[in-house]
Amino acid sequence: MSRRRGAAPAPAPQGNRIRTEAGKWIRMRMGVLCGVLGLGLGLVVSAGWDLMVVDGPHWRELAEKQRQRRLRVQPKRGIIYDRSGSALAVTVEVPSVSLDANELLRGVPAPQVPVVARDAANRIARALSIEPALVERKILAKRRWTWLHRQVTAEQVEAIRKLAAGEDGERIRGLIVEGEPRRFHPRRELAGPLLGFVAPDGKGKDGLEYALNRELEGHPDQLRGLRDRSGRLIFSEGIADDQALAGHDLHLTLDQGIQYTAERELANVARTFEASGGSVLVVDPNNGELLAMASWPGYNPNDYRKSSPEQRRNRAIVDAFEPGSTMKIFTVAAGLAAGVIQPTQKLYCEKGVMAVDNVVIRDTHPAEWLSLTQILAQSSNICSAKIGLALGGDALYESLRRFGFGERTGVELPGESSGTLRPRGRPWVQVETAAASFGQGISVTNLQMAMATAAIANGGELLEPVLIRKVTTASGEVVRQSARQVRRRVVSKRVAQQLAEMLVAVTEDGGTGIEADIDGYRVAGKTATAQKTDPRTGRYSLDDYVASFVGFVPAKNPVAVVVVTVDEPRVDYAGGAVAAPVFRRVAEMVLRYRGLTPAGTKPVNLEELARRPDPAHATHAALRAARGEAPPVQEVQQAGKPGKDQVRLPDFTGWPVRAALRQSVELGVRPEVSGTGLLARQEPPPGAIVDKGSAVKLIFRPAS
C-alpha cells in the first residue's frame, strides 16, 4: 500500500535501537581493551629493550658469575740446583682437604642444621685428627670453599674418601681432596739458612726463597670453569702451555759436597767446644763464586715450624763481629801499599806493652824486634797498631773501606749486615786507629772477610760474591747468567804476592795457625781470638770470644778461600785451636774436588792404575753378589788410544764414593759428585778418552 504524501516516517522498532547502542558500547570496550593491550605490549617491548639492549651487558655478566667459577692457578715453583745440577729445593704435589659447606647442608631442614653439622664435624675431625669445634664452625659458616686441613697424609686421604663415598656410615657431601704444591728440600738441613723456606701460601719467607721469590714463583693465572647447580666444577678451559707460567730455575755456585763437609765440620767443632754458633764460607778467589756457606745451628726447611729464628739466621751474612787479629792482614797490606813499611823492615814491639793515650795495648807473645812476617805469624797487636798509626786514621779507614769493610757485598740474600768501621760523622781518634788496626772497635761479617781475603789471594782485586750462576726458564732458556765482576783493585799484584808469602809463616812452625797446615801444600792464613763486648757493662768480656781463621790454599795460585768463625766456644777459645782444624779439613776436601795433588806425590802409571781393582770396590761388589743383586750396567765406549795429556775413563759403576773420588783424582780428572751410595752413572761414560783436568760427573744412588 502506498504511503501518503507528506506523512512522517514511522519510528524504528525498539529492538533495533537497543542493538545499535549495544554495538557502540562493545566497540568502545574493544577499543579501550585494544588500547590497554597495546599499552601493555608497549611496556613489555620497552622492558625487553631495556633488559636485552640497555642493561644486557650487566645481566650477562651476572649470569656468567652464577654459571662459571674462576680458579686461580698457582704455577709450579722453580727448582734450585747446586753447581753440578743436583736439586736442593723442588716443588711436589701433596693432598689437602677442603669443604663446600653449602653442598654438605643442601636439603637439610633449618632445625636439623646444627645436629647434622655437629655429627659431620665429629666424623671429619676423627679422620683428620683436628678439633671438631673448628670443623663445626666452618660448616655453619656455609661457605662454598674453605680449607679443612692442608698437606695431609695418605691415611687421612683414604679416611676422607670413605666419608665422601659413604663407606664409613652416612655419606658426607662437599668433601674435596685436591693437590696442593709444597716445597721440598731433598737434602734436608743442607744449606737450610741459605735456602730459606716457603710458607703454605706459596711465598718464600727467608733466604734465597724470599730474595728471589718473584723469579721462583712464576706467573699466577686464572682459569674459568662451568659449574652445576651444586657448585661442582664440570669443565675447565685448560692451559695452553703450563711451562709459560712456571717459575724460573736457579743454578747456584754451591757445591753440595763442599757444603756438606763445611756443615759437618762446623757442627762437630761447635759441639766439641760448646759454642753458641758459627759459620764457614768457601770462596773461589778467581771468580768470586761461593762454593759453600754453612751456618750453625741450622734447621730443616721441610719442618721450618719446629725451628727458631736463631736457627734460621744465616750467620755468614747477618752476624757482625769484631774480627780481631785477622784484620792485621789488611793493616799490613795498607801499610805496604802506602809505602809506610817495607817487606824486609823490622818493627820494635815494645816487649809486649805499649800505651796509646790512656789505653795500654798488650801482646800475647811479648817480643822486641819483629819482621812483618813475624808480626803476622806471632800476631803482634803492638806492631800492627804502629803500622795503623803510621798510616793515620783517615788513610787506614779508606784502605779498609777499599777492602769492602763497612759496606754490604751485594750478595743476593736478605738481611746482609754492612758491619761498622767508625761512628758516623767523626774520624777516629788515635786510640781508635790503633785498635782498628788489630780488629777491635770495628765489626765485619764473615762474607766481607772472605771477599777481602780473596782479594789478597787473587792478586789484589776485590770481586763481587757470586751465588747465582744462572737463572733459566722451565724450558731451559737462560734468563741471566753471572760473570766475574771486579769491584775495584785494592792493592797491587806485587803487594798481594808479598803478603801471601808472609801469611804462610802463620801455618808453619812458630806460627799461631799450625793446626791449619796441610801436608803437601803451602797454606796462607791468619788466626784470631777476639774478645766480645759484654752488653751489660760495655767492656770486653773475660768469658766470651770469637775464634776464627781465614786463609787460602795453595798459597800460590790458590783455588779456595776458607773462612771459619766460631762464636763463644767454652772448652777453648783460641782461633788456632778451635777454627784452624776446621779450615784444614774443609780445605782438604776442596783440594781433592779440584783434583790437586800434594807436593811430593810419586808419579804412577795412570793406565795401570785405571785397570787396578779397588779393594773397597771389590768388597761392595762381593756384598751385592751375595745378596743376589745385579750391578748397574753402563755401555763402555770403544775409543781409540789416549793422546798426550789424555786418559781413558775406567768403569766406575758400582764403586763407593770415596773409591771413585780417589781414583778420579789420581787419574788427573776433576770429579763432580751428586747423590750418595754406589755409582750408578758417569758422564762421560766408561771407556771415553778425556783431557786431564776435565770434569767427570759421578752420579751415585743408594745401594739396595
642 falls within a domain = yes
- Residue 250: C-alpha distances to residues 92, 329, 447, 474 (Å): 17, 35, 21, 10
Do 299 and 196 share a domain, yes or no?
Answer: no
Q: Are 353 and 385 in contact (CB under 8 A)?
A: no
CA distance 441 to 386: 16
User: What CATH number corresponds to the domain at position 448?
Assistant: 3.40.710.10
Instruction: Provide the pLDDT for residue 151.
Output: 77
Q: What band does 616 get if pLDDT is binned at 50, 70 and 90? A: very low
| Residue 317 clears pLDDT 90, i.e. is over it | yes
Mean pLDDT throughout 119-131? Answer: 88
Among 593, 620, 654, identify where a domain stops. Answer: 593
State the average pLDDT for the chain. Answer: 83
Residues 500 and 4: their CA atoms lie apart, in Å, by 160
519 and 632 assigned to the same domain: no
Q: Where are the alpha helices (DSSP H) in 68-221?
A: 101-104, 113-128, 132-140, 154-165, 192-195, 207-211, 213-217
pLDDT for the residue 663: 80
> Residues 329, 202: one domain?
no
Residue 414 contacts residue 206 (beta carbons within 8 Å): yes
Are 346 and 446 part of one and the same domain? yes
Is residue 106's pLDDT more than 50? yes
16 in a structural domain = no
CATH of the domain at 624: 3.30.10.20
696 vs 214: CA distance, rounded Å? 34
**Is the residue at 25 inside a domain?**
no
Same domain, 403 and 423: yes
Over residues 534-548, mean pLDDT = 87
Q: For the chain, how many structural domains are there in total?
A: 3
For residue 306, how far is the Cα from the chain centroid?
18
Q: What pLDDT digit, counting tens, does each position of 517-538 carry?
A: 998 899 999 999 999 888 888 8
Apex 200 CA angle, 194 and 203, nearest 5: 55
Three-class SS state of 341: coil
pLDDT of residue 65: 59
Do 628 and 678 lie in one domain? The reply is: yes
Give the separation between CA 547 and CA 276, rounded to whole angstroms: 12
Q: Please tell me the predicted confidence (pLDDT) of residue 69.
A: 53
Higher pLDDT, 424 or 566: 566
Percent of the chain at pLDDT > 70 equals 85
Determine the pLDDT at residue 73.
56
Q: Using H for helix, E for strand and C for coil, what is the string for 359-404?
A: EEEECCCCCCEEEHHHHHHHCCHHHHHHHHHHHCHHHHHHHHHHCC
Catalytic residues: 325
pTM of the model: 0.71
Model pLDDT, residue 629 = 46
Q: Angle, to 10 degrees, between the axis of helix 113-128 and the axis of helix 154-165?
A: 150
Sequence-separated contacts (24+) of 45-51 with Cβ below 8 Å: none
Tell me if 382 sits within 8 A of 365, measured CB to CB. no
Query: What is the span of the domain harbouring residue 695?
Result: 606-701
Claim to verify: residue 628 and residue 513 sit in the same structural domain? no
The three cell numbers of residue 452 are 777481602
The residue to which cell 753440578 is assigned: 84
Q: Is residue 201 packed enough to be buried (19+ CB in 10 Å), middle (13-18) or exposed (0-12)?
A: exposed
What does the pLDDT look like over 398-423, one tens digit per residue?
Answer: 999 999 999 999 999 999 999 998 87
Secondary structure letter of residue 433 according to DSSP: H
Distances 578 to 8, 274, 307, 404 between C-alpha atoms, Å: 150, 11, 27, 26
Instruction: Say what the pLDDT of residue 632 is.
Output: 46
> pLDDT per residue over 206-256, tens digit each?
999 999 998 888 766 555 555 555 545 554 455 445 555 678 899 999 998
> Helix 657-667 crosses helix 615-626 at what angle (to 10 degrees)?
140
Q: How far is residue 378's CA from residue 381's CA, in Å, rounded to a whole number?
A: 9
Residue 607 clears pLDDT 70, i.e. is over it: no
Residue 36 within a domain: no
- The pLDDT assigned to 139 comes to 86
Same structural domain, 96 and 245: yes
